[in-house]
Amino acid sequence: MAKKDVEELLIKGGEDEPFRQKYNIAKDKAEFIALAKVDGYEFTEEELDAVLRSSGDSFASFGNPPKRAIWW
């Protein structure tokens, strides 16, 4: 279930710019996961890392305003 939640969040972020921007400004994974929980997504940092690793994505933030290259 948690892997599915991570994937659904990454897909929604890829399709919905305001949603994505909210997550792009998260300072770290803990804040990112807390935002996700408020939106109804349940997963741990380890589960997020596993999905990102399997897709070859990095959680690193870049640019101004901040962006992440994790969105599907």
Q: Is the pLDDT of residue 1 over 70?
A: no
Q: What percent of the chain has pLDDT over 70?
A: 99
| Average confidence (pLDDT) over 27-39 | 97
pTM for this model (two decimals): 0.90
| Average confidence (pLDDT) over 16-24 | 95
pLDDT at 48: 97
Residues 6+ apart with CB under 8 A from 48: 6, 29, 32, 33, 59
Give the number of domains in the chain: 1
Host domain of residue 57: 2-68
Alpha helices in 1-72 (DSSP H): 2-15, 17-24, 29-38, 45-55
Q: What rounded mean pLDDT belongs to the chain? A: 95
Is 37 in contact with 69 (CB distance < 8 Å)?
no
| Average confidence (pLDDT) over 11-32 | 96
pLDDT at 18: 95
